[in-house]
Every structure is written in C-alpha cells, then in structure tokens.
A and B are shown apart, each in its own frame.
Chain A
Amino acid sequence: MQSHAAELFFKSESSYRMLVESSSDIIYSRDKAGCFTYVSPAWTKNLGQLPSQVIGHTIGEFVHPEDQPACRKLLDGAVQVGQTGEYTFRFRQLDGTWRWHISRETPHIDGNGVMAVVGIAHDVTERHRIQSIMALTEKMVMVSGLAAGMAHEINNPLGAIMQHAQNIERRVSMDIPANVQAAEEVGVDLSLVRDYLEKRSIFSFIGHIRGAGVRASEIISQMLSFSSRGETGIATVDLSKLLDKVVVLAATDYEMKKQYGFRTLEIVREFAAEPLYADIASPEIERVLLNLMKNAAQAMAAPEMTREPRLTLRTRADEGMVVIEIEDSGPGMDETTCLRVFEPFYTTREVGNGAGLGLSVAYNVITGMHRGYIEVSSRPGEGSCFTIKLPVRGTL
C-alpha cells in the first residue's frame, strides 16, 4: 500500500517536473527579497545563462535598467498585497542583447510558510518588434501626410517671397527703361539710389532673402517627396553594381571627401556570389543608399570614434526579396534613437547640419514607393546596420 502511494507520488512529481522542464516559457520562483530560487531549463535555452548563474541572484541583475522599477513593483505587489501581476520587460541574454518578455507573477506560500512568488515569462520579442514597426508605420503615414500638406501650403508664400525679392532687384536695375523713367518722374537719379543701396548692403540683404528661400524650398521639396510616387519608372538593376556606383558617387561628393574623409574609409564588400537583380526606381534607391553612406561616414567621423572606420556593404537573397545592408563601425545609437531615426526632422546632429529628413525620405522610398522594408539595428559603441529589403519583382 505504502509503495503504491509512493509510486503515485513519484509519478505525479515526475509529471509536474516534466511539465515545468519542457515548457518553452521560463518558469521561476523568487523569494521576497527578489532573488531567484528556481529557474526552469527554458531560461538557459532562451537567454543563455545556466541556472547556477541565475539562482541566488536578484532579478534586477537580468532586467533592463529602465524596466527595473516596474519589476520591483510587481514583486512588492505579490509579496505585500498578495496580488497577481503582469508586466512586460527586457531580460538580458548572455551575449548582452535584450529579449522582451511578458511575465506574470503570483504570490505563493511555500511549505515552511515563507512568502515567495512564482512567475512565468513568455518571450514576446518578435511580437514587440512587429508592434514597433506597425506603430512606426502609422506614425510615418500621419507625420508624412502632415509634412507634405504643410509643404504644399508653404510653397506659394515662399515662391512669392523669392520672386518679389527678385522683382525688387529688377525694379532698381538701370537696364529697365521704366525704372529710369519713374526715378526721373520723382526727381531722383536711379544710379544714386543704386549707390545708396549698395553702400547700405541692401543688395546683399536681398540676396540673402533669395538664398534663404532656396534653402527652404529644398527642404519643402524633400517634404513633398513623402507623398509623391516617383516619376522615374522602374528598371531591373544589379544590386552589387548599384552599390559600387553609389560608392563612386560618395567618393566624389564634396562633403563626404572633405568633412568625413570618405576616401580613407575601409570599404568591405560582402556581396552575394551570384548577381542579384531587382526591379527598382534606380535614382531613388541610389539617393537612399548615398544618404545611408553619408550618415555612416558622418557617424564614423565623430570625435568619440575609437575603432577603425569601416563601411561594410552586403547583398543577399531572402525569401523572394533582395537584401542590402550598410553597416558602419561608428559610435552606434541607443534604443530611443533607433526607434525615432526615420521620423521627419528627427536629428541628433547640431542645428544647421542637415534638417533630419534623409532617413524619412529613405523610409518613404523603401516602404511607400517600393513596398519593401527598412530597419536599423544598433547599439551604443557597436556601430549601426541599416537593412533594406526589396521585392525582386517590384512595381511602383
């Protein structure tokens, strides 16, 4: 009888053990100080650390600093109030990268009457990534629409400013007989009026008005490109050749040469063995690639740069799409910057060093015009990698 009960006990014990140990979600328990007392094998499988590296340590050692206050609140809620709580936070993998997990913790009193919590953590990194992309897409559609609408409305007054400035220049010109005649009619000598305007730098002020107008109109034309569909039509292009062409373009760009030392950069080409073709609007994609190379060169010219500047260009095929990667060895970006780089007017550069439109135009060209994807992965101190995926058989 006793042995049957023992057999049942061990059977049920091994069933429970099997359930816990084969779960793909991480099952764990923590004591009321927050230290892990148990982690299931899924921890090692998902995050890399061995149980011995986790048990006895606090959860704070494995959770992203930004998520720690909420993580502590979850424990306090369970231990002090006895409530079950749920929260999404990032666990650190062995390689230092973060995985998003949704964790549900329930208070539990063990056999010795000691309060503890039992938790289940489910990996939602992929879901989180897709949600971020969708949120970004929605934001981009809204902001781009707003930018294009504003650009359109600003065009007329801007045109009037520039053209009237030009008219002012013309109306004091000696070349137009009507000007000379009007001056005579009011009893002044037009050449003296011109001398005065010259002496008081008024011609130069008018020149500045026109110059500023040209600068503003360049920004406007980029903003308008958010809602345009490209006028160039598509062509089948060999991506490696395209990248090589853009490298040549970049090397001849004045800013790239003088300010960012593009010619001294090491350029590594990791192209697919076979030529990769895609149907694309070539001039638009060239501009996107040039822009990405420019950003990379600019990042690598930063004073905090400690590693050798290296630009890596890759091409590969991936499930009916072609992939282009542009990776730099620059100082990298934090997560907040990564999430916002594609927003119009978002820039980490100082005022006057670009309007912060390049990457939002790139985003529009890739996702809007070509139905592709563009993503960035970066970490502070480890460079940035922009990945572009384009349909092989593209239509605009």
Chain B
Amino acid sequence: MITNSSITVLVVDDDEMIRECVAAYLEDEGFTVFTAESSEKGLESVTSVHPHVCITDMRLPGINGDQFIIRAHQLYSGTRYLLHTGMLYSLSDELRLIGMTADDVLLKPIHDLSKLVARIRYLATDGGHHAVG
C-alpha cells in the first residue's frame, strides 16, 4: 500500500485562494505538496521536484495551462497532469498523446476535494506511467 506521503503533488495556480486551499487539503491528506503561482515557476518545479502529479489551472498568466503541460512534459515526462478549468474543455490531441483523459479535466468549482484525492492516488499509482517508489 502506497502512502500519500510518498506521493508528491505540484499545484500551479495564480489565484492564491485556490492554490492555498487545494494545497492545505492535500497536505492534510498526507501528500507532499509544492505550489507555484505561475507557469514559469511551475516549469522550474517540475524539473527540480519531479512531482508524481501536477494540478494546473487552465488560465495562467503567460501561457495557458494546456500549453504549460505540453512544455513541462517535454522537460520531464514522469509527471501526470490534472487540468483545472472553468469552462467545458475538450482535450487536444497533444494532451491525449501524453496520456490525459477526460477524467483528468476538473471542472471548477470543485465541490468536494476528496474526489481529487482518489484521482491523484490513481494517477500516481497504477494509472500513472510509473509507480511510486
């Protein structure tokens, strides 16, 4: 049984309210959580931290969340992604190619963060490209 503490999660969102409350919840659930307030900082964290799962907002200053995922995946391919978006969003072919499915698109606002926990665990374990070691 893999414990949550062995799973590293990166939360990328420019909205401090959202970033902090998602991070606080995930920390309480025992995950190791990092945060980034921009796509640039997010790219740095992906390369330095190698998170198992990254939750990114769609609307980020600079590049959008979907473009951020594509760039981050080029830098390090071991991270799985969840895209947090306010609008209905169809996954692009590029995102499907790196293994994302419709279940990885989280429609705002998330009513119940416990569902996020299940998805993160799934991605970081058997649903992910690599198992947590």
Residues of A within 8 A of B (CB): 151-152, 155-160, 162-164, 166-167, 170-171, 176, 178, 210, 213-214, 217, 220-221, 224-225, 227-228, 231
Contact = CB atoms under 8 A, between A and B. Distances in A.
Interface string B84-102: 0011101000000000000
Contacts of A227: 87
Per CB-CB distance, the 4 closest pairs between chain A and chain B, nearest first, are A159-B109, A160-B17, A163-B21, A155-B108
A162 B108 contact: no
Interface string B37-68: 00000000000000000000000000000000
Interface in B13-46: 15, 17-18, 21-22, 24-25, 28
20 contacts: A151-B86, A152-B86, A155-B86, A155-B108, A155-B109, A156-B108, A157-B17, A160-B21, A162-B110, A162-B111, A163-B25, A163-B109, A163-B113, A166-B113, A167-B24, A170-B28, A176-B28, A221-B107, A225-B88, A231-B88
A228 B90 CA distance: 11
Nearest to B112: A166
Nearest to B111: A214
A217 B111 contact: yes
Interface of B: 15, 17-18, 21-22, 24-25, 28, 86-88, 90, 107-113
B110 A159 contact: yes
A167 B87 CA distance: 25
A167 B28 contact: yes
A152 B87 contact: yes
B111 A224 contact: no
A328 to B, nearest CB: 32
Nearest to A159: B109
A167 B25 contact: yes
Nearest to B14: A156
A151 B18 CA distance: 16
A163 B110 contact: yes
Contacts of A171: 28
B18 A160 contact: yes
A162 B109 contact: yes
A156 B86 contact: yes
Contacts of A231: 88, 90
Contact of B15 (A156, A167, A170, A221): A156
B28 to A, nearest CB: 5
Nearest to A221: B107
Contacts of B90: 231
B101 to A, nearest CB: 14
A211 to B, nearest CB: 10
A170 B25 contact: yes
A181 to B, nearest CB: 13
Nearest to B84: A159
Given A155-B86, A224-B87, A228-B88, A164 B111 contact: no
Contacts of A224: 86-88
Nearest to A165: B21
Given A228-B87, A228-B88, A231-B90, A178 B28 contact: yes
Nearest to A225: B88
